[in-house]
Amino acid sequence: MAQEALLAVDGVSVFYDRFRALADIDVAVGGGEIVSIIGANGAGKSTLLKAILGQAGRVEGRIWLAGEDIVGRTTAAIVALGVMLVPEGRRLFPSLTVEENLWLGWDVGRRGEFGFAELWQLFPQLAERKRQKAGSLSGGQQQMVALGRALLANPRLLLCDEISLGLAPIVIDELYALIPRIKERGVGIVVVEQDISRSLAIADRFYCLLEGRVVLAGRPGEVGRETVVQRYFGL
């Protein structure tokens, strides 16, 4: 898979000043595919997502989105091509209502088959709370708002950065159950996660990063857990 994939990160390095946070990375994502990126703190997972969105430091290499090289484009232009991020820490406006927060995704995005009717169906808990202030919701519900906001932009490629952070296991289960339903719509999904088991359980394919390099990649069923754990920690 290279330029014909939905996303092809092709020999990418990212520099913050003189520090190289990613070193010659290759990552591909197809439409309707769930790809997990795992790795310890500081491995470069968020940097990879930010580089795709044009928000990282200096990028070398090429990032192909549906055959177009998007390196050097503005974030607005990349979003317009159908890339959306669910950022680490959600970044909601707590004093705005659920519905107002969701409109922000609708406003920046593309028109498509995913609208408010589909959103309320996918997140019935939000439908009941659309006029509440986002800051009054539980952590899990806030994460649903962040996810819903991204979906309303009708992305072709959805980037999720540690959506489980700080949530109770039962709430994480609920969120993760939504991911395959998004995949069914043909969206390519990148899931960044520190939790190895959870990542591998949901992924079609995965990449393991260590200190800015891909140290292991494959399909979860084809690689032993022992191997994954060893590479994850660089043992």
Ligand X SMILES: Nc1ncnc2c1ncn2[C@@H]1O[C@H](COP(=O)(O)OP(=O)(O)OP(=O)(O)O)[C@@H](O)[C@H]1O
- For position 21 contacting ligand X by CB under 6 A, the verdict is yes
Contact region for Mg ion (CB under 5 A) — 43-51, 142-150, 208-216, 217-225?
43-51
Task: State which residue, 44 or 105, has the beta carbon closest to ligand X.
Answer: 44
Pattern 30-49, binding to ligand X, x per CB under 6 A? ---------x-xxxxxxx--
- For position 51 contacting ligand X by CB under 6 A, the verdict is no
Task: State which residue, 14 or 78, has the beta carbon closest to ligand X.
Answer: 14
Spell out the SS3 assignment of the chain: CCCCCCEEEEEEEEEECCEEEEEEEEEEECCCCEEEEECCCCCCHHHHHHHHCCCCCEEEEEEEECCEECCCCCHHHHHHCCEEEECCCCCCCCCCEHHHHHHHHHHHCCCCCCCHHHHHHHCHHHHCCCCCEHHHCCHHHHHHHHHHHHHCCCCCEEEEECCCCCCCHHHHHHHHHHHHHHHCCCCEEEEEECCHHHHHHHCCEEEEEECCEEEEEECHHHCCHHHHHHHHHCC
Q: Which partner from the list Mg ion, ligand X, none does 39 bind, CB cut-off 5 to 8 Å by kind?
A: ligand X
Judged by the rule CB under 5 A, the positions of this chain that interact with Mg ion are 45-46
Judged by the rule CB under 6 A, the positions of this chain that interact with ligand X are 16, 19, 21, 39, 41-47, 194
